[in-house]
Structure 1
Amino acid sequence: MRLFATFILMLFPQMALSQSAATLIADSVRVTENEELIASGNVEVLYLGTRMTAAQITYDRANDQLSISGPIIIQADDGTVLTAQSGQLDPTLENGVLQGARIVLDQQLQLAANQIDRRDGRYSQLYKTVATSCQVCADQPPLWSIRAQRVVHDDIEQQLYFENATLRIRDVPVLWLPKMRLPDPNLERATGFLIPEQRNTSQLGTGIKIPYFVTLGNHRDVTLTPYVSAETRTLELIYRQAFQNGDLRIEGAYSDDTLEDANRSYVFAAGEFDLSDDYKLTFDIEAVSDTAYLLDYGYSDKDRLDSEISLTKATDTTLTQTRLTYYQTLRDDESNASLPPIIADANHEARYYPKIGGTVTMGISIDSAYRYSNVDGDAGRDVSRIGAFADWDDSWVVNGGVLLNAGAGMRTDLYHVLDDSSFPISDTRVVPSVHAGIRWPLAAYSSNGASHLIEPTISLSWSESYGATVPNEDSTRSELDHGNLFDVSRFSGDDAVEVGYQGAAGISYTRLGKSGLSSVLAFGRVIHDEPQTDFSKSSGLDGLRSDWLVAGQLTTDDGFLFDARALFDDNADITVTDSRIGWQNDRISLAAAYIWQAKDATEDRTDTVSEWTLDAGFIVNDAWSIDLDGRYNVADDRPVRAGIGVGWQNECVNINVSASRRYTSSTTVEPTTTYGLSGSLTGFSAGRSTAGLAAGCRN
């Protein structure tokens, strides 16, 4: 008969002092005349989250010691498992000796030793130790192992200290170190080396990156990565800090290479902070020493850098924002002086709900664009604007489910222009507008459970610009799409507005299937009473009649997505088309996109754009994975970028191999081919967990 006994105070005095209790379960429990407690048969001891099982436990009250016969299994509350053949421990299980023992950390790393000494409930000293996270089979050595004369495991610091250690691959010695420190797998952050990466590029040659991570307290850390090859000496840096009200990240690099005569560097810094009164401060700083540095080293493929600081406050009815932005171009055909490089803007908007109904939105804004150059015209023009607006909008549902809406607005802008004689220095513009629309949603339901919705929509509007003809700084890349089809003005900024009478008509069809299949198809067009000369030809909005807009989307509940949009004129000639397709499940991730744009001198596009991109990932099995990416310029019949990455892992090793090729037509950046190799021994890296297929043992 299985007995249950709880011993508090009487049997384990040290536990009594800590006001804790040990629970003992065994098939047989007896007390001898020498005050020895002997528990045998399926023994279990529970104490402060630690569970121990054994064949027999003898407690000597006089010496306050436990003698344990195995097999012994001790499971701690942090997931650590310790097994042994026999042992001598104190009642708190914090001090003693275990013979023929094995420790398993986080179900990954196992350390087998002839003997383990426990000290102060914190240190475990292992003698003649073998450490590995690989499956151990009786007939063959593990894929890798570390043999050490002594290993000390610090439970508090979660560190492993090796003495006289040898790394073995299939039991063949490959590296000896007199001392070595590694984190145990339960540790989330620890100072030390991260996974090295071997890197080979056609410009920088064969090199190696060895990142070193340094913790600077609980809220800061820095990663220093020396990158050394025959062509470069580079130090990369990543600094992170978490504050009570935000966070900061700085990354950069400094290089001395053979590609340029001068030293090269870059820095990207970003931060976000919550201030008082619900304000949010964000900043983003980007700077580089030369136009080719980011691409040469693969840090970024940006061709324009933007550094910005902003202060924002958003509530249910108001928005306040102030921004200062600095641009740095990396393009061959641009100069910083003429971008313009400095943009400053501030705006405040508020929404009100008057008793007459509808919604009133009012706002004030100010912005300024500054160029370094003092030449007359576009390349040197400096523009400042201050403006205010007020809009009213309301909607009603009438008989038959018809939705009506109407609105009116007024905006006023004062412009100050320097270094451009084609515009007056100061001028004022006033733009009134009115609009009305009608939408009639028609719904139906199929016998198979699908729902259908058809929405024909018509809108009419009028606006006019009185006063200044102002320079267009912020609305040079506007385009017709499904989101702005029924807007009063489809310019993306404030400098340009659509004028005259206009009407927009469109119809959309939406189907929601019972199985999760959903689809949307929409058509539309805009008609003006006078030509819109401020729009570019490729925007689809120039002239009296806009291009036809066709847009559609198809999604399924198993991860498939197709989205497309096209603009074409009355002759069925396409102006713009873009589409993307994607599919994802547990093992496959596919994404492809295509864009076609006609050439347009107004937008500085002298050639037709026709390009597709591809990103794909495949989990072949529990061990192998493949990633692919590519970008191809169909118009020029040349590749832009191609890459492949192959990963292999099992329960104790992770290896990644990659190859990429970047093509370029730039005169300052050379095409580059890059090869990368990195690997790690699973079980030591902080915060990593095994996901690979465990190698089986042969019978």
Structure 2
Amino acid sequence: MGDGPVTFTAEEVEYDQRSNVVTARGRVEAWQGDRVLRADEFTYDRDTGIATATGNVALIEPDGQTLFADRVELAGGMRDAAIEGLRGLLTSNARLAAAGARRTGGTVTDLARVVYSSCDLCAEDPTRPPLWQLRARIATLDSVEQRVRYRDAAVEFGGWPLLYTPYFSHASPDAPRASGFLSPTFGTTRFLGAFLEVPYYWAIDDHSDATISVTASSEQVPNLGGVYRRRFNNGEVSFEGSLGSLEGTDADGFGGHIFSRGRFTLDENWRAGFALNRASSREYVQAWRYGAPRVLTSTAYAEGFWGPEGYARIDTLLYQGLDAANSTALTPFVLPRFFADYVFPNDSLGGRFSIDASAYSLFRSAGTDTRRAGTRAAYELPLVGDLGEIWTFRTHADLIGGWVDGLALAPTYGDAAGDGFYGRAHLRSALDWRLPLVRGAGEYGSQLIEPRVQFVTGPSTGSQVRFPNEDSLDFEFTDANLFSLNRFPGRDRLEGGTRVDYAMRSAWLFPNGGQVEGLVGQSVRMATDETFAEGSGLEGRRSDYVGRLRLAPVPWFEMVGRARLDKESGEGRLWDGTATVYGGPFSLSGGYLLTNPAPNVTTRKREEYSLGANVRVNEYWRVGLFGRYDIGLDRPVSAQLSATYEDECFIFETRFVRSWAEDPTTLADYTGGTLLLFRIGLKTIGDFGLRAL
């Protein structure tokens, strides 16, 4: 490339035959290879190959970066240069200026008396110092390693030096990624004392990288953590892990964790993946700031997709409960679990038939072991009547069989015995009628009234306590499943008998785009068997009342809520609602939640309210507030205050979080306490964080 010809254009060209020097003047543009030079005057010595440019010099690099200078002397195919009065416009809005510079081989540029920043200059006063700038005696820009190194450097804010370092390095703004130390995090926590985390980022190759972190603290021995990531042509993997110890808690001694996942595409239909997540204790991962999980799930799976019609998945599941209340012996291991379904095209009547199959094997050290297989066939046919009413016929047919051991040992089922083989078949059908009555758009918008009635019938299931229940424990009756044929979320519990579901839905659509929409409904069963547990809302013949409401009459206000009311007293068993007010630069929201004890899940009534606000003070500042209060316990649950400043070159974030736990002095309730976080980000250079807990 150094031997290639120099091509240029100019308004005026002069050639001295004795000295063999070419001089060009007036809007000169010269290029050699993929480098371009622009200047007011340009001279080129054909014998030595040295070119000199003066006056408004601009050198455009192959990567798109532009260097401006007062005078430039070039050699070696424009790769070697001596530059006076350098000013550089780099990627990511970064700017660089130096009194002088020397470039060698087109890759390394040494600069003297350097100033670097990614901040815009003040439009009213360009001579005013930017918000921040890095000033150094010497700097080196290596385009191969894509790093910038400074010596005798100081960071100035508003022209005032606030931080000095004899050596500083960061990735070049145009570097997609580069190995090096990342910004450290320091602070203090209740169990670590004062701590300092220093991460190192290793760009291994174009497809993989790793981050290795060492955390030193005043109260614990150092902790070593790391993250490895790799992309393949057909997938990706990531592994996060750590090794260390923890003293002064119930989990004293050596500990560690691993969080990993992977996913691979096998062909156009199939993909496979895994997740391996284990930890020595919840206290360990919380204390060393690796999250606060209550349950860790490990899995390996394969799943197939055949358009919108077909799907299949086989997997295995291994759980680790990290709460002290979780019994390891009762925690299940699922090997394997299988599910597949297929939806056939619509038939000539417009109906759709689907079929699925499922199976799982579940084991415990103590308690219930279950193996189950089942299938469901479903058909749905919608029809529209002469009056505009919509008739929908639905039917489900279930066939389930399995084997259970140790059912009597499961605390959920008391003293019931049902070990051995079990099997059952069930068929239920429904006729659903809806009549949407719409009043056309007028001066006040349009209105909708839609009564709906569904008749469901099938054999009674009776008491199902002798069957294991693994997938239908977490049950909640709301408007979302009022019209479901089987209102349990899984297949271990089936709903039979005859019932009638009915609801009234109404909506008012305003001309301005606002609306009010609501629904209230109930279900009546013919039988009073023990299908549903006490407190579910479906015990007895008549169910509780369920409803929902969405109120959005104007663009700046919205309220969404749902409720379940006792069928006898009208007392609220479930209230869940939020209201939000939008005001241009701010939003204000409030919420209320009331839930009664859920069968098989919770034993405590929960009642709390929350308030939140987000305010954009101006173009750069944002402030957020959030709080939750537990009415039943008569104490706050959490409170948070955040303030963020962000412009083109600088980020400042502060966050205060206060959580109230039952006993904040024990690590079992480590999430209770106070968190104070500060983060300063100099864009294109790095972040600096302070954390106190």
Shorter-chain TM-score range: 0.7 to 0.9
Q: What is residue 526 of structure 1 aligned with on the other side?
A: 523
Quick one: structure 1 residues 459 and 166, their matched pair in 2 at CA, closer, same or farther if it must change by over 3 Å?
closer
Which residue of the other structure, out of 254, 259, 262, is the alignment partner of 2:243?
Answer: 254
CA drift at 1:676: 2.8
CA offset at residue 214 of structure 1?
1.1
Aligned-partner Cα distance in 1 for 2:661–2:541:
40
Q: 1:114 to 1:194 in 2, by over 3 A?
A: same
Structure 1 unaligned runs (5+)?
A: 1-11, 374-379, 689-699
Answering whether residue 108 of structure 2 is matched by residue 123 of structure 1, we say yes
Q: Which residue of 2 aligns with 1:386?
A: 373
Gaps of 5+ in 2: 409-416, 689-693
SS in 2 for 1:483: helix
- String of CA shifts for 1:334-383, please: whole Å, max 9, x gaps: 3122243546421222223485642222222212332211xxxxxx1222
Deviations 1:549-579 (A, max 9, x none): 1112346896865321101123211111112
- From 389, 397, 406, the equivalent of 1:419 is 406
Aligned to 1:692: none
For the structure 1 residues 107 and 219, does the alpha-carbon distance in structure 2 shift closer, same or farther, using more than 3 Å as the test?
A: closer
Other structure's SS at 1:210 match: strand
- TM-aligned CA deviation for residue 492 of structure 1: 0.7
Name the counterpart of 2:230. Answer: 241
Relative to structure 1, is the Cα distance of residues 443 and 130 closer, same or farther in structure 2, using a 3 angstrom cutoff?
A: same
The offset of 1:500, in angstroms, is 0.9
CA positional deviation for 1:529: 0.4
Q: Which range is displaced more, 427-436 or 676-685?
A: 676-685
Q: Measure, in 1, the Cα distance between the counterparts of 2:553 and 2:39.
A: 55
- The residue that corresponds to 1:693 in the other structure is none
Using a 3 Å threshold, how does the CA distance of structure 1 residues 560 and 258 change in structure 2: closer, same or farther? farther
State the match for 1:598 in structure 2: 596
Q: CA RMSD in A?
A: 3.4
Moved more, 355-364 or 556-565: 556-565
Higher relative contact order structure (alpha carbons within 8 Å, sequence separation ≥ 6): 1
2:677 alignment counterpart: 676
Partner Cα distance (2:455, 2:633) in 1 = 42
Amino acid corresponding to residue 81 of structure 2 in structure 1: G
Tell me, yes or no, if structure 1 residue 231 matches structure 2 residue 219: yes
Per the alignment, do residues 677 and 597 of structure 1 end up closer, same or farther by CA in structure 2, a change over 3 Å counting? same
* 2:387 partner SS: helix
Give the TM-score normalised by structure 2: 0.86
| Cα distance per residue 1:311-353 (max 9 Å; x no partner) | 2112232221112112222334331222435464212222234
| 1:324 corresponds to 2:316 | yes
Give a deviation string over 1:517-567, Cα, whole Å, max 9, x none.
Answer: 344312221111012533234432222111111112346896865321101
TM-score of the aligned structures, taking structure 1 as reference length: 0.85
Instruction: Return 332-341 or 544-553, whichever deviates more.
Output: 332-341
Shift of residue 451, structure 1, vs aligned partner: 4.6
Once residues 450 and 52 of structure 1 are traced to their aligned partners in structure 2, the CA distance between those partners, rounded to angstroms, is: 66
After the TM superposition, which residues 185-196 of structure 1 pair with which residues of structure 2 at under 5 Å, given as runs?
A: 185-196=173-184
Deviates most, 409-418 or 101-110: 101-110
- Residues 242-265 of structure 1: CA deviation (Å, up to 9, x unaligned): 121122222233332333321232
The aligned residue for residue 411 of structure 2 is none
How much does 1:286 deviate?
2.2
SS of residue paired to 1:444: strand
Conserved 8 A contact 1:594-1:612: yes
In the superposition, relative to structure 1, how do residues 285 and 107 fare at CA in structure 2: closer, same or farther (>3 Å)? closer
CA contact 2:429–2:458 (8 Å) conserved in 1: yes
CA contact (8 A) 1:498 1:532 kept: no
In structure 2, relative to structure 1, the CA distance for the partners of 1:13 and 1:638 (3 Å cut) is closer
Which AA in structure 1 matches 2:477? L
Distance of 1:74 and 1:556 partners within structure 2:
59
Give me the identity figure in percent.
24
Q: Which amino acid aligns with 1:226?
A: V
Bigger mean CA offset, 443-452 vs 333-342: 443-452
Q: CA deviation at 1:90?
A: 4.4
Partner of 2:280: 289
Map 1:423-502 → 2, pairs under 5 A: 423-448=418-443, 450-465=445-460, 469-502=466-499
- Report how many aligned residue pairs link the two structures: 663
Decide whether the 8 Å contact of 1:109 with 1:684 is kept in 2: no
The equivalent residue for 2:199 is: 211
Q: Give 1:193 shift.
A: 1.7
The partner residue of 1:552 within 549, 552, 557 is 549
1:459 Cα deviation from its structure 2 partner: 1.1
Greater CA deviation, 590-599 or 478-487? Answer: 590-599
Indicate if the aligned counterparts of 2:461 and 2:494 stay in contact, CA closer than 8 A. Answer: no
Match of 1:73 among 51, 58, 77: 58
Q: Secondary structure at the match of 1:295?
A: helix
* CA–CA separation in structure 2 for the residues paired with 1:369 and 1:634: 39
